[in-house]
């Protein structure tokens, strides 16, 4: 992954050289990597080409703080083709940011693979509705399996957890243990989710860039393998906006939760919220520093930034 991250930034170095450097500058992480057990799939996996299968899965390690990740990965190339971080998993967001975005960019997959979560209902509905537009129409348009059998996407989550979720979660748990952060307070919940999602998106962007640019032994580089996209492309007219797709679903199947909230937005107007966000940006102009330091076991900037955001929000809402 580190070689992939460097390659995405335009720096090309051999795996051996990068390994030597990491072994010297970050011994605890190196030891943990050496001792970690590999996630071996006992059943041979088969994906014949880009567009054969796309795996979509959610990560809820940070759900108690209003952060949920959803990723989509092509089975043949292992390229991550869709990503989204949201406060609460939502059918419309997943369809719009993950499925619709991926199909518009890469083409139509023969099969979508997910677990049994209700948050994928709209995506599966549209995949079935567009089934005749696939390259291979003999396969079922989608499959729902337990998460434990969705190994292709599961392999990315340890990287996300180590590089994004756990560093941020440690800082938030420390604030709760110190009784500085009250997650029962709806305004605090809103602020925690807003800032943590912002940082988590930055982290996810880095992980995705690194993953797609790293070389998988015996396979190749995901971005290169997926360069041609899926064999079958479809017109964007067939992929309606999320609200329209949800209307179709409700007419034919049943109701969907269109908007999901974490905490309560305390601002009386969008203008008040924009004013508070501008003031926060003046005090903390580069939130990337919060993430960088948290990942390097220095979470104080993130903690102080979050406390500052909560205080600032409270002041604006009491005016």
* CATH class belonging to 53-252: alpha beta
Sign of CA dihedral 310, 263, 167, 179: positive
This prediction has a pTM of 0.85
Q: What are phi and psi of 3, to 5 degrees?
A: -65, -35
Q: Delimit the domains of the chain by residue range.
A: 2-35, 53-252
String of DSSP letters for 281-300: HHHSS-THHHHHHHHTT-TH
Question: Residue 245 corresponds to which tokens in the numbers above?
Answer: 């797709």
If DSSP codes are grouped into helix, strand and coil, which group holds residue 184?
coil
User: Smallest Cα–Cα separation from 162: which of 74, 269, 316, 30?
Assistant: 30
If DSSP codes are grouped into helix, strand and coil, which group holds residue 242?
helix
| DSSP, res 57 | E
Please give the chain's pLDDT, 319 residues, in tens. Answer: 656 556 666 766 666 676 666 666 666 666 665 665 455 555 677 899 999 999 999 999 999 999 999 999 999 999 999 999 999 999 999 999 999 999 999 999 999 999 999 999 999 999 999 999 999 999 999 999 887 666 678 889 999 999 999 999 999 999 999 999 999 999 999 999 999 999 999 999 999 999 999 999 989 999 999 999 999 999 999 999 999 999 999 999 999 999 888 988 998 888 989 999 999 999 999 999 999 999 999 999 999 999 999 999 998 887 6
């Amino acid at each position: 992954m580190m070689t992939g991250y460097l390659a995405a930034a335009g720096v090309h170095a051999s795996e051996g050289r990068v390994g030597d450097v990491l072994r010297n500058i970050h011994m605890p992480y190196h030891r943990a990597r050496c001792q970690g057990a590999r996630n071996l799939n006992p059943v041979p996996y088969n994906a014949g080409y880009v567009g054969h299968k796309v795996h979509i899965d959610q990560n809820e390690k940070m759900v108690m703080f209003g952060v949920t990740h959803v990723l989509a990965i092509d089975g043949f190339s292992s390229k991550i083709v869709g990503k989204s971080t949201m406060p609460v998993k939502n059918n419309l967001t997943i369809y719009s940011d993950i499925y619709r975005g991926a199909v518009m960019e890469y083409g139509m997959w023969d099969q979508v693979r997910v677990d049994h979560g209700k948050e994928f209902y709209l995506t599966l509905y549209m995949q079935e509705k567009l089934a005749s537009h696939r390259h291979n129409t003999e396969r079922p348009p989608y499959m729902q399996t337990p998460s434990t059998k969705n190994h292709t996407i599961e392999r990315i989550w340890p990287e996300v957890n180590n590089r994004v979720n756990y560093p941020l979660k440690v800082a938030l748990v420390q604030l709760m243990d110190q009784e500085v952060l009250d997650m029962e307070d709806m305004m605090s919940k809103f602020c925690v989710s807003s800032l943590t999602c912002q940082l988590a998106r930055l982290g996810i962007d880095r992980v995705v860039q690194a993953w797609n640019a790293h070389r998988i032994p015996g396979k190749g580089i995901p971005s290169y393998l997926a360069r041609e996209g899926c064999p079958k492309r479809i017109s964007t007219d067939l992929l309606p906006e999320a609200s329209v797709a949800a209307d179709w679903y409700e007419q034919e199947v049943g109701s969907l939760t269109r908007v999901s909230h974490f905490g309560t937005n305390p601002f009386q107007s969008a203008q008040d919220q924009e004013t508070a966000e501008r003031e926060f940006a003046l005090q903390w102009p580069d939130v990337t520093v919060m993430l960088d330091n948290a990942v390097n076991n220095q979470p104080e900037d993130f903690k102080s930034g979050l406390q500052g955001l909560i205080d600032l929000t409270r002041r604006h809402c009491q005016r």
